[in-house]
Amino acid sequence: MLPTIALVGRPNVGKSTLFNRLTKTRDALVADLPGLTRDRHYGRGVIGSKPYLVVDTGGFEPLVDSGILKEMARQTLLAIDEADVVIFLVDGRNGLAPQDKVIADRLRKSQRPVLLAVNKTEGMQRAIASAEFHELALGDPLSISSAHGEGVRDLVELALEHFPEPEDEEETSAGKTPKVAIVGRPNVGKSTLVNALLGEERVIAFDQPGTTRDSIYLDLERNGKHYTIIDTAGVRKRGKVFEAVEKFSVIKTMQAIEEANVAILVVDAQEGITEQDAHVSAYILESGRALVVAVNKWDGLEEDKREWVKREIDRKLQFLDFAKFHYISALRKKGLGELFTSVDGAYKAAMAKLSTPQLTRVLEDATMQHQPPISKGIRPKLRYAHQGGSNPPIVVIHGNHVDGIKDSYRRYLAGVFRKAFQLTGTPLRVQFNQGANPFAEPEERKQGEGIVSMRRRKTAERAVMNARRNEEMGRKTKKTPGVVASARTLKKKPTLKK
């Protein structure tokens, strides 16, 4: 089992920067703003001679007894309890703060090994920068720079020196684990749903929009199956995003959707379907991800309001006809079993393997029932189809004159393929490839000549040839009347005078 290192400290001391340095990723949001990180963020450390897990925590405010800061402190305490080693980060440029003393007292009570790291000491004399932190009585302070990497490797080696060398582990099928992103607009219950699935208060669920700011990756085992759950920040419409932190959160959410196999779109039944819900749905459709819609807070609605919400879904989200809708209550853990049954089905459909003979037969049946419309006087001819990719499934159709096929016929074929192969929960993309003319002479390019230049040269050569041909035809036309007249004269018999 890998040792776990927790990064702890007051806000804005560089914990997320150190996390990204240790994992060699950009998974944690980094900005010059205090309180940016709120939930625990896990990653696999790659700096050092031994493998380990590293946990990024929010700014530790141990004396706060209410609000979001209290929830952040509770998450930090949970990270300390499950850690094998704690790295306590302090700010070497701002010096020792009263809050650092309070955190040091808490860490001593935790009975966990603690290493004191004085961050942001680049360009400073290390002995002078760390001198005042001896007052915390947590051993010799280690001067580092998480932004520049100075002293980071020595810090990690010191933290892991008492742990044995890891045994060789067999490769697992982690690459085949479905990744499920929980997405939606702010304050619809995404974090509550994540906690309900995990069975613990793993992420902060607070009655305040924008509580989650970063994308949190979590491992889940349910009914013997393994999943990677991605809790994302709420996505607003582009015109509603003002704060720099929220812009970072939107980017991280989009990255999580692109990385996921299945997206669970959470909507608030009590507020109905809004434009923001349709906006988030558009993000998911553009990325081509499989989709399951969870209508949350369903238990608090009267029967007439429920019928109204269903009509709103049919009217505003009709373009999600390929997805399944589930009416759940994340707070009361109702409807979660059926929800993940649809997640499994959507993942299976997104990764489906479609054989070329079956695709071609379905294409032939579809064109017999509804031929492609005539374009520029020519009806396109579709010859055969094969699979061009998965997640989402891509069907590539080869034929002639396919450039004139409209999007309406493309959607018709996508619906036919989805119905024939029972692909529920995933969008399907159809691509057309124009067949090459086997009798066309290959165009030869001169050395250093581009395609555009070659085509212009060919056009100019054809124009010269046409001009010469027309000139020769004109000459023949002028000569022809005289020739005909002389021939008739020769054939005409002379008349005899009486």
Binding residues for GTP: 9-16, 56-60, 119-122, 184-191, 231-235, 296-299
Phi, psi (degrees; rounded to nearest 5) at 392: -90, 160
Beta strands in 73-171 (DSSP E): 85-91, 114-119, 142-143
Distance between CA atoms of 276 and 268, rounded to whole angstroms? Answer: 11
Q: Which residue matches tokens 């008349």?
A: 495
Cis peptide, bond prior to residue 209, ω within 30 of zero: no
**Contact 88/103 with Cβ under 8 angstroms?**
yes
Structure tokens at 323: 């997805």
How many other C-beta atoms can be found within 10 angstroms of the C-beta atom of residue 187?
A: 17
Q: Where are the alpha helices (DSSP H) in 226-374?
A: 244-259, 275-287, 303-316, 336-350, 356-369
∠ CA(126), CA(128), CA(130), 5° rounding?
65
Structure tokens at 382: 């579709």
Q: Where are the alpha helices (DSSP H) in 179-295?
A: 190-198, 244-259, 275-287
Distance between CA atoms of 31 and 144, rounded to whole angstroms? Answer: 19
CA distances from 354 to 175, 291, 309, 359 (A): 21, 20, 37, 7
Give 346's contacts (C-beta < 8 A, 6+ positions apart).
Answer: 262, 290, 291, 292, 323, 324, 424, 425, 426
Give 318's contacts (C-beta < 8 A, 6+ positions apart).
Answer: none
- The DSSP letter of residue 375 is B
**Contact 177/228 with Cβ under 8 angstroms?**
yes
Among 283, 294, 295, residue whose Cα is nearest residue 340: 294
Structure tokens at 153: 């490797």
**Contact 294/264 with Cβ under 8 angstroms?**
yes
**Contact 416/366 with Cβ under 8 angstroms?**
yes
Structure tokens at 124: 């400073």
Q: Which residue matches tokens 């997805």?
A: 323
Containing H/E element for 452?
Answer: helix 451-491
Q: Which residue matches tokens 């002379």?
A: 494
Q: Which residue matches tokens 């690459």?
A: 175
**Contact 183/263 with Cβ under 8 angstroms?**
yes
Distance between CA atoms of 246 and 258, rounded to whole angstroms? Answer: 19
